[in-house]
Amino acid sequence: MARSRIRYECGACGYQSPKWLGRCPDCKEWNTLVEAMPPPADPTAGSIRARGERSLTEAAPVPITEVGNAVEDARVVTGIEEFDRILGGGLVRGSITLVGGEPGVGKSTLLLQAAMSVASAGNAVLYASGEESKAQVSERARRLGVPSDQLFIQAETDLGRILAASDKLDPQVVVLDSVQTVFVAELGGTIGNVSQVREVTSRLVQHAKSTGRVVLVVGHVTKGGQLAGPRTLEHLVDTVIYFEGGSHPPYRVLRSEKNRFGATGELGLFEMAESGLKSVSEPSGVLLRDRAEGRPGTVVTASMEGSRPLLIEVQSLVAPGFPGSVRRSALGVDAGRLAMLVAVLAKADYVLHDQDIFVNVVGGLRITETAADLAVAAAVVSSLMGKAIGSDWLVLGEVGLTGEVRQVARLGRRLEEARRHGFCRALLPRLPEAHPIPDGLTCFEAGSLEQAMQLLFEA
């Protein structure tokens, strides 16, 4: 029998090469080609992905009007408020969800809590771990609460045995921890390589679709914050959720990057306690709880995370730097965006060329929208001038390259969230005519960055 030839595959785009290359010719990424064994020649032992896709496409077509809303009728509620909300109301039967995050952030804890909650409702759950023994998983489960006898633990790395156990138990939910530690026996290569991860995921997808079971999978991330394994991993699954926050207390952020059954970009906040992860149902209040009032360099803005408005504190520290080597550090905001705002402020006659500038978003959150531009600029100017911004101010607006202040989306929901938490004044872009303003909130409109700073510091 001829020996299978080794090939190399790009973990970012899937490009294949007979020899190792430092840079992928297709996607131009560096150091992404890894060793991958080709699938066996035996068609009965080859990739199940192709056979699974054919079996799905061979199903008889039916009119769309006869299908019905099977998704909403097939939700499995985990009982974890923030987790269910991000998923769109619960787990969908026959779906596969990938939860990624850094080591120690709490991925396994979250899924074990979800498994225990579903099992406590009388539904069978299979928790398969390739990283921990049965005793270790059992001990962790007891720390989180009282385990149910409907929660079955399996310490296994062979995917075939895991799927066989699933077929025998017929659970409602299958949890796999993690996709990088499980292998397909008939496929060559080391555990966790590109081919193994892709094939494991493909078989899990087929298992979920053919049985109607919910599959939850843990995925590790690389140093760059991307899921380890081929990029196609994210395309195969139905939902991709990232758990952020590292190992630093007290909060963890759960963010949906892809969801075929709900909205993307949704954010949930958790607090790590001795008894596990606790959902934070009022994140704005928690994030502003320890805010220091009357100090320069701090301001509050409202950011939309999916469909939820969050009140977030933006802090800045401006200090004299060494000429020619000043620092610009941004945590939670885009560094390029900060550099642009500093340049716009310099055009407005704020002397920053010899100053070190540090910007931080409190709570370890990331602001990805431009609606916080004006708040970042206000925090920088506040620290530079040594003047505090009133604690009842909310600052919102996108700043353009010419210094104009532009409107932001879903302004009404942001203002209502601010009013609900006791804010009395809001600095905003020019509002459309007859735009509704929540009772008890006074709005100040600014058309330019200069005008906005005058309203904040000279009023």
Any idea where the domains of the chain sit in the sequence?
1-38, 72-281, 286-457
Q: Label residue 60 by pLDDT band (50, 70, 90).
A: confident
pLDDT of residue 363: 84
Nearest to 299 by CA among 385, 232, 174: 385
Could you report the per-residue pLDDT of 371-389, keeping only the tens digit for each?
999 999 999 999 999 999 9
pLDDT of residue 220: 83
Distance (Å, rounded) from C-alpha 141 to C-alpha 148?
A: 10
pLDDT of residue 105: 86
Q: Label residue 54 by pLDDT band (50, 70, 90).
A: very low
Could you report the per-residue pLDDT of 21-36, keeping only the tens digit for each?
899 888 888 888 887 7
**Of 73 and 154, which is predicted with more confidence?**
154
> How much is the average pLDDT of 391-399?
96
Could you report the per-residue pLDDT of 308-355, keeping only the tens digit for each?
999 999 999 999 998 888 999 999 999 999 999 999 999 999 999 999
**Of 13 and 295, which is predicted with more confidence?**
295
Report the percent of the chain where pLDDT is more than 70. 89
**425 DSSP β-pair partners:** 393, 442
Distance (Å, rounded) from C-alpha 10 to C-alpha 33?
A: 4
User: Residue 421 CA to chain centroid, in angstroms?
Assistant: 26
Q: Answer yes or no: is pLDDT of 48 > 50.
A: no
Rg (CA), the chain: 26
Q: Which region among 9-18, 335-344, 399-408, 440-449 has the lowest average model confidence (pLDDT)?
A: 9-18
User: Among 115-129, 241-255, 274-288, which range has the highest average pLDDT?
Assistant: 115-129
Alpha-carbon distances, residue 307 vs 248, 251, 410 (angstroms): 26, 20, 9
- Give the CB-side neighbour count of residue 25, counting CA atoms within 13 A: 8
Q: Answer yes or no: is pLDDT of 356 > 80.
A: yes
**Of 341 and 106, which is predicted with more confidence?**
341
Q: Answer yes or no: is pLDDT of 231 > 70.
A: no
- 427 and 452 in contact (C-beta within 8 Å)? yes
pLDDT of residue 18: 87
Q: Label residue 249 by pLDDT band (50, 70, 90).
A: low
> How much is the average pLDDT of 408-436?
92
pLDDT of residue 202: 94
Report the percent of the chain where pLDDT is more than 90. 60
pLDDT of residue 10: 82
**302 DSSP β-pair partners:** 311
- 385 and 297 in contact (C-beta within 8 Å)? no
- 316 and 379 in contact (C-beta within 8 Å)? yes
Strands 239-244 and 251-259: antiparallel
Q: What CATH code would you report for 72-281? A: 3.40.50.300
- 430 and 447 in contact (C-beta within 8 Å)? yes
> How much is the average pLDDT of 76-90?
92
Alpha-carbon distances, residue 262 vs 239, 240, 252 (angstroms): 9, 11, 21
Q: Answer yes or no: is pLDDT of 47 > 70.
A: no
Distance (Å, rounded) from C-alpha 227 to C-alpha 242?
A: 9
Strands 214-220 and 173-177: parallel
pLDDT of residue 228: 59
User: In the predicted model, what is the mean pLDDT of the chain?
Assistant: 87
pLDDT of residue 354: 92
The per-residue DSSP string of 182-244 comes to -B-TTS-S-TTSHHHHHHHHHHHHHHHHHH--EEEEEEEB-TTSSBSS-THHHHHSSEEEEEE
Could you report the per-residue pLDDT of 179-224, keeping only the tens digit for each?
989 999 888 777 887 888 889 999 999 999 999 999 999 998 766 6
> How much is the average pLDDT of 4-10?
74
Helix (H) or strand (E) holding 142: helix 134-144
Helix ranges (H only) for 260-300 are 283-287
Sheet holding 7-10, edge to edge: 16-17, 7-10, 33-36
For 286-457, CATH number out of 3.30.230.10, 3.40.50.880, 3.30.1330.10, 3.40.640.10 equals: 3.30.230.10
Give the orientation angle of helix 335-347 with respect to helix 373-385, to 10 degrees. 60
User: Among 10-24, 53-67, 286-300, which range has the highest average pLDDT?
Assistant: 286-300
Q: Does the N-terminal peptide bond of residue 230 adopt cis geometry, omega within 30 degrees of 0?
A: no
Could you report the per-residue pLDDT of 132-146, keeping only the tens digit for each?
999 999 999 999 988
Q: Answer yes or no: is pLDDT of 170 > 60.
A: yes
Distance (Å, rounded) from C-alpha 84 to C-alpha 89?
A: 5
